[in-house]
Chain A
Amino acid sequence: MVSQKRDAAIVGIYEYPKRKAPGVTALQIKAECAARALEDAGLSWGDVDGLYDAQDGAGSAGLGLAEYFGFKPNVIDTTQVGGSSYEFHAAHARRDIAAGKCKVALLTYGSTAHSDARRIGTGGGGGGGYSPGSSSPLSNMTDPWGMTLISNYGMVASRHMYQYGTTSEQLAHISVATRAHAMRNPEAVQAMKDLEFVGINEITVQDVLSSRMVADPLHLLECCMVSDGGGAVVIASPEVARNCKKKPVWIIGSGEATRYSENGSDITISAAAQSGPPAFGEAGITPAEIDIAMIYDSFTITVLVMLEDLGFCKKGEGGAFVGGERLHYKSPLKPVLNTDGGGLSSNHPGMRGIFLLLEAARQLRGESTSQVEGAKLAVAHGNGGMLATSHTGGTIILARD
């Protein structure tokens, strides 16, 4: 039984088409995406009265961003929780709109991670290997150990394998499905060309297992790309949404959580175990009803853990759940996974959360390059931070009319 609450809807979307964008800045990407998402909605620049930002434009968070854009918003929310920021923003925008604080909320993202040659995954920096800037208790306890971002997720995968008998073969199915979807998405294909992927084609489980081990037990083809990119989402009140160009995609449930390793904790359980149930509860639906699962695929293990924690299968049974072609967009079984090609094969400039909302909205509008016929319900689950140490989870449930 789908909740009848219709507080706010996604009415405008835009994904920056390039994944390699030398010579532009994150702020320029954000502004261009804002203009095009407003155009998609049939709204004007001056309509924006709520600004949500993850502080990704240089020097321009709450204080500078409105001025750069030229907005005078009534709501400014600069929640920064890494890759899950945009799910948090969508939840907050809906709440603020329902409270009458604003009518047209704008979420933007811009990043030049690829052109900056930022070593997100394997360098000392950014991945819990070394924290530049001022010291903190966490950085002091983490920095000496050379824990790269990928090895952080590798520790979750190792433990999941130990505890539940999960295999690399099973995890590989996640890469196989997302690549199949990416090959149907011209922007993803161009991305793989621009980022000089070795083989731009559909892949097999064996291809994944044969790719180089980066941090045991994660292989290269289980790791997301590092791209440039960005996007924008416009969320509006029901009154505004009724007059927009495109059909509204309603936000009907949300949940937010954080989780961290502590004495005796189980690192195979993510924040999704806390953020999922209130989101589904508020929406009045069960995971079994979801058509489209847009799950943050920084690595294969991220998806596996979150499918379990969101309740698509029991804890520990994710390996068997993702087998075969179950996650493929043509699968007779629900839900299908990351139909845009995901962070693994389409777009990952560092904080992928906004793309989860974008592709979920495309599916519910009927605009995906791997369209699921009659898709009615989608979940977007973003993950921020690092899975084995501390991270955040934001769950958004979306419905079409």
Chain B
Amino acid sequence: MAGRPLPRFPEPDTQAFWDATKEHKLTYQVCAKGHIVFFARAHCPTCGSREMTVKESKGEGTVYSYSVVRLNRHPAFAALGPYAVAYVDLDEGFRVLTNLAGLADPVNEAKIGARVKVRWEDQEGGLSLPMFAPA
């Protein structure tokens, strides 16, 4: 899947999240008061705390919404055929933007409310993208 636009660094807020993907670890943060934080930041957007702990997710969740892209002129996506962009709500309480994987026909098989599990797609350069396939 070479050619997807990938995160660019230096970018201190999300660097650790992406580094962890190299080991297929899906991480999120919890602040000192227990607020769940995603995407990664040096502060908690709920209370302003700067005491952040990184945790690893089990990678299981539910499709919150999706849309199947039929047309994207970017070469990396044009080659895919129809693909589903989705929000997945992880069981730990955070929401990720992602793609649905493992669907032969995303137009008919993608479903809101479906249970999904992370599936890693390794990229050139070592990063891996957390996608979600039927659990």
Q: A and B bound?
A: yes
In-complex Cβ contact of B4 among A125, A138, A146 (8 A): A146
Interface residues of A in 225-240 (CB under 8 A from B): none
Identify 10 new A-B residue pairs, CB closer than 8 A, beyond the known A138-B39, A141-B7, A147-B69: A123-B72, A123-B73, A124-B74, A124-B76, A141-B97, A143-B5, A145-B85, A215-B71, A217-B67, A262-B45
Residues of chain A within 8 A of B85, CB atoms compared = 145-148, 151-152, 155
Q: How far is the CA of A138 from the CA of B98 in the complex (A)?
A: 13
Q: A148-B72, A214-B71, A263-B93 are in contact. Are A140 and B112 (CB under 8 A)?
A: no
Q: A130-B74, A264-B93 are in contact. Are A145 and B98 (CB under 8 A)?
A: yes
Q: List 12 A-B contacts (CB under 8 A).
A: A123-B72, A124-B76, A135-B7, A144-B4, A148-B71, A151-B69, A215-B67, A216-B68, A261-B95, A263-B38, A267-B65, A388-B87
Is A4 part of the binding interface, using a Cβ–Cβ cutoff of 8 Å?
Answer: no
In the assembled complex, how far is the CB of residue A310 from the closest CB belonging to chain B, in whole angstroms? 22
A300 interface residue per 8 A CB criterion: no
The CA-CA distance from A154 to B68 in the complex, in Å, is 8
> Any chain B CB within 8 A of the CB of A326?
no
Residues of B1-47 contacting chain A, CB below 8 A? 4-9, 11, 13-14, 18, 36, 38-41, 45
Whether B86 is near chain A, meaning CB under 8 Å from some CB there, is yes
Q: Determine how close the nearest CB of chain B comes to the CB of A214; give it in whole angstroms.
A: 6
**A interface footprint on B64-91 (CB within 8 Å = 1, 0 otherwise):** 1111111111101100100101110100
* Contacts A142-B97, A145-B98, A263-B36 given; does A159 touch B64 at CB 8 Å: yes
Contact of A162 among B8, B39, B65 (CB under 8 A): B65
A137 at the interface (CB under 8 A from B): yes
Q: B interface vs A, CB < 8 Å?
A: 4-9, 11, 13-14, 18, 36, 38-41, 45, 64-74, 76-77, 80, 83, 85-87, 89, 93-95, 97-99, 107, 112-113, 129
A129 near B65 (CB under 8 angstroms)?
no
Most chain A C-beta atoms within 10 Å of own C-beta, residue among B5, B40, B41, B45: B5
Question: A264 contacts which of B65, B72, B95 (Cβ < 8 Å)?
Answer: B95
Contact partners of A141 in chain B: CB under 8 A: 7, 14, 39, 97
Q: Does A364 contact B (CB under 8 A)?
A: no
- CA–CA, A332 to B94, complex, Å? 46
| Shortest CB distance A155–B (Å) | 4
User: What is the interface residue range for chain A against chain B?
Assistant: 35 or more
Q: Least Cβ distance of B73 to chain A in Å?
A: 5
Task: Determine how close the nearest CB of chain A comes to the CB of B40; give it in whole angstroms.
Answer: 7
Contacts of B70 in A (CB 8 A): 212-216
Instruction: Kindly list chain B residues whose C-beta atoms are within 8 Å of the C-beta of A44.
Output: none
Q: Which B residues touch A265, using CB under 8 A? A: 95
Whether A263 pairs with B72 at a CB distance below 8 angstroms is no
Known: A119-B73, A124-B74. A215 touches B7 (CB 8 A): no
Residues of B within 8 Å of A124, CB to CB, are: 5, 72-74, 76-77
Complex Cα–Cα for A262 and B65 (A) = 13
- A131 nearest CB neighbor, chain B only: B5
Bound CA span A73–B95, Å: 45
The answer to whether B73 and A140 have CB atoms under 8 Å apart is no
A25 in contact (CB, < 8 A): no
Find the A residue at minimum CB distance from B96.
A141
Residues of B within 8 A of A123 (CB): 72-74
Report which residue of B8, B76, B86 has the largest number of chain A beta carbons within 10 angstroms of its beta carbon.
Answer: B8
- Nearest CB to that of A153 among chain B residues? B67
**CB-nearest residue of chain B relative to A130?**
B5
Contact assessment for B9 and A135 in the assembled complex, using a CB-CB cutoff below 8 Å: yes
Which residue of the partner chain, among B4, B11, B107, contacts A137 with CB atoms under 8 Å? B11
- Whether A122 sits at the interface, judged by CB under 8 Å, is yes
* Other-chain contact of A140, B7, B64, B98 (Cβ < 8 Å): B7
A155 / chain B contacts, CB cutoff of 8 Å: 65-67, 85-87
